[in-house]
Amino acid sequence: MKPDSFAIINLSTVDGFVARPAAFVFKTAEGIARVEPGYNDPYGSTRPADHYLTGSVIQLPGDLGLSVERHGKVIATVISWTSERAREDAESSCGRALCDFGDYLIEQSVTLDEERQRVEIQLGLNT
């Protein structure tokens, strides 16, 4: 995945797939960790913003993204999503969430990489 991009996570469900925005995706020893863009909500959240998927992580061709498999089945596909692409798709809930997150980074005068490093440390994933 491109290090300078957000991601859309397509999670496997009984009825197909459901898309979720991700500000960050980290590889872990057990699979991946994804962080929703709302983690920075100043009023807090009604649920955790960090989610963990266990399984084998497979790099997709090029910088397209990753897939996570468990017991031979794809349980999630992680697709790189640049800020430009999020703006083009701003009408979708995922696109809007990622646009808002990009605006937050600009307001905070922080780069995506700087914030990624801070969150990675905060979650204890940098060891």
The 10 Å Cβ neighbour count of residue 124 is 7
In a domain, 56, yes or no: yes
| Residue 109, in any domain of the structure | yes
- Total-model pTM: 0.82
Residue 83 near residue 7, CB atoms below 8 Å: no
Q: Which domain holds residue 10?
A: 6-121
- Which pair of structure tokens corresponds to residue 44? 């807090």
- Residue 98 domain-assigned (yes or no): yes
Half-sphere exposure of 117 (CA within 13 A, CB side): 4
How far, in Å, CA of 18 to CA of 10, rounded? 5
Structural domain contains residue 127: no
Q: Kindly state whether residue 84 falls inside one of the protein's structural domains.
A: yes
pLDDT per residue as tens, the chain (127 positions): 455 568 888 888 888 888 899 999 998 999 999 999 888 877 777 778 899 999 999 888 766 678 899 988 888 888 877 666 666 776 778 888 888 888 999 999 999 999 999 999 988 887 5
- Let me know: does 109 contact 32? Beta carbons within 8 Å: no
Look up tokens 């991601």; give the residue: 7
Whether 44 is in a domain gets the answer yes
* Residue 1 lies inside a defined structural domain of this protein: no
Please state the domain count of the chain.
1
105: number of Cβ within 10 Å:
16
Amino acid occupying residue 107: E
